[in-house]
Every structure is written in C-alpha cells, then in structure tokens.
Amino acid sequence: MTDTNNFDKNRLVNWFKLSSPSTFYPVAGKLIPFFWVLTAIFGLAGLWVSFFVAPVDAVQGQGYRIIFIHVPASWMSMFIYLVMAAWAGLGLIFNTRLSAMMAQALAPIGAWMAFLSLWTGAFWGKPMWGAWWVWDARLTSELILLFLYLGFIALQASIDNPRRADKAGAILALVGVVNVPIIYFSVKWWNTLHQGASVSLTKAPAMAQTMLLGMLLMALCFWMYTIAVGLMRVRAIILEREAHTDWVRQLDEVKV
C-alpha cells in the first residue's frame, strides 16, 4: 500500500483518500480553527452592519433588526438540509462511512437553525403582526422542515447498527429532499386559499443595500459556523464509531 498521506506532494487532492476517517480526522482538526476565525470575522462585520449601519425601517422601527438573524437562519436551515441529504446520498452510493457521519454531524445544527428561524420569526411577528405564531407559508414550511430534521435524528438514534442507521437515514433524507419543494408549494397554496393576501413575514418591499449586506454577512457567519461545528461534531462521531481501531488508539489525546 503506497503512502496515503501525500497531500503536500499532490496539488489535486484525491477526494477518495479523504474519505477514510483516519485521514480525515487530523485534516478536520486543522481546519476547525480556521473556520472559527472566519465565523468571528463575518459575525462581527454582520453585527456591526445590523446594528450600526443599517438604517431604521420606516414601517417597522428598530424591531426589524431581527431580520438579520431570522433570514440567515432560514436560509441555513434549508441549505444544511440539502447538504446533509447530499452527503447521505453520497454515503449510500459510494458506501463510504465518512459521508454518512458527515450527514449525521450536520443534522443537529440544521435542526437548531430551523428552531432559531421559528423562534426569531415568532419574536418578529409578535410586535409586527400582533401574534406569536401565524400560519404563514414560510413559517409553516420551516416547522415541517424542523419535523423532518427531528425525524432524521430520531431514526438514526433508534437504530442500533450504525451502518443500517446510516443507510436508513440516507433514504429518509433523500425522500425528504424530494418532498420539501412539494410541501413548500402545497403549504404556500394552502396559505393563500385560507388566509387571502396577507403580508408575508419575509417580503420587504424595497431592501436597502445595507440591509441586504447585513443579511449576507450574517448568513456567511452562520455558514462558517456550521462548517466549524460540523467538523467538530464529525470528529467526535469518528472517535465514537472507530473507537476500536488502531489509529484511534495511537492518537495523542487517547494514548495512555
């Protein structure tokens, strides 16, 4: 078996080499601080723009600033679901354990993002529309997305055999990905039928450039955060699942 750790020699990384948990573990470890730094940079810039650059909204006053975490959280919750399903699908097709572990690592963050989207949505809706919860199409779809995340996590938690849990979760994630547009469309349609033309929580008539910039920066911050936390969690998962392999026993932190 030839030397597998020749990243410095090869410019083009052979992705399949990375798919072994033993090679990925140290790589992930080196990448994590880098992503935390990016999270901090984007976060500080985003918060600066949200609070000190973006002007007061004519209609909603200062309360609209919640948009700077509500919209990025919604975007991330949907994006993470896609990425999670993609990793799970790759794991199913190529039978790689690490892809499935990656999907497993991303699920909780996605669920938290969906929760934050709902929470901030409620806190935005209360002062603006007078109710903690409205059956708005976006919020309702977000709620269903949270259910899909929770179902994925619950399924993986309840199957003892890890490989079976990976594959079952992958099928569930892929079925979910196909269903999310269908669910979104049907909920949107249902919303217009039963509520008529109501103001959508996320429709802002003319977004000031600064508002868009703020949302973009916060979205990037959440994205870097997701990668950082995802890599951290996947390292924990690797340790747990590969506990009895030689390379884990030889790790500095584990060696006695």
Partner 1 sequence: MWNSPAEFFAMGGYALYVWCSFGVCLAVLLFEPLSICARNKAIIRRLKQEQLAEQFDKEGSQ
Partner 2 sequence: MSVLLAMIRRDLLLVMRRKSEVLTALFFFVVVTSLFPLGIGADTALLRKIAPGVIWVAALLSTLLGLQRMFAADYADGALEQIALSPQPMVLLVAGKMIAHWMVCGLPLVILAPIIGIQFDLDTSSLYILMGTLLLGTPVLSLLGSIGAALTLGVRGGSVLMSLLVLPLYIPVLIFGAGAVYANSVGLDTSGHFSLLGALLILALAFVPWVTAAAVKIAIE
How far apart CA 50 and CA 65 sit, in angstroms, is: 7
Query: In this complex, which beta carbon is closest to partner 1, that of residue 70 or of residue 184?
Result: 70
Site for partner 2 in 83-112 (CB under 8 A): none
Contact of 173 with 152, CB cutoff 8 Å: yes
Contact of 204 with 36, CB cutoff 8 Å: no
The one among 33, 189, 210, 245 contacting partner 2 by CB under 8 A: 189
Q: Could you say whether residue 118 binds partner 2 (CB under 8 A)? A: no
Q: Please list, in sequence order, all residues whose beta carbon lies within 8 angstroms of the beta carbon of residue 14, skipping any fewer than 6 positions away.
A: none
Q: Which stretch binds partner 2 (CB under 8 A): 30-38, 125-133, 165-173, 230-238?
A: 165-173
* 14 DSSP β-pair partners: none
| From the list partner 2, partner 1, none, partner contacted by residue 223 (C-beta under 5 to 8 A by kind) | none
Q: Could you say whether residue 115 binds partner 1 (CB under 8 A)? A: yes
How far apart CA 2 and CA 137 sit, in angstroms, is: 55
Query: In this complex, which beta carbon is closest to partner 2, that of residue 171 or of residue 207?
Result: 171
CB of 136 to partner 2, least distance (A): 15
HSE value, Cβ hemisphere, 13 Å, CA-based, for 148: 30
CB of 131 to partner 2, least distance (A): 21
Q: Could you say whether residue 159 binds partner 2 (CB under 8 A)? A: yes
| From the list partner 1, partner 2, none, partner contacted by residue 77 (C-beta under 5 to 8 A by kind) | none
The one among 38, 144, 177, 204 contacting partner 2 by CB under 8 A: 144
HSE value, Cβ hemisphere, 13 Å, CA-based, for 151: 15
Q: Residue 105: which of 228, 19, 230 has the closest Cα?
A: 230
CB of 232 to partner 1, least distance (A): 5
Query: In this complex, which beta carbon is closest to partner 1, that of residue 53 or of residue 199?
Result: 53
* 57 DSSP β-pair partners: 61
Q: Which parts of this chain interact with partner 1 (CB under 8 A)?
A: 51-53, 55-56, 61-63, 65-66, 69-70, 73, 108-109, 112, 115-116, 119-120, 123-124, 126-127, 225, 228-229, 232-233, 235-236, 239-240, 243, 248-249, 253-256
Q: Which parts of this chain interact with partner 2 (CB under 8 A)?
A: 144, 147-148, 150-151, 154-155, 158-159, 163-164, 167-168, 171-172, 174-176, 178-179, 182-183, 185-187, 189-190, 193
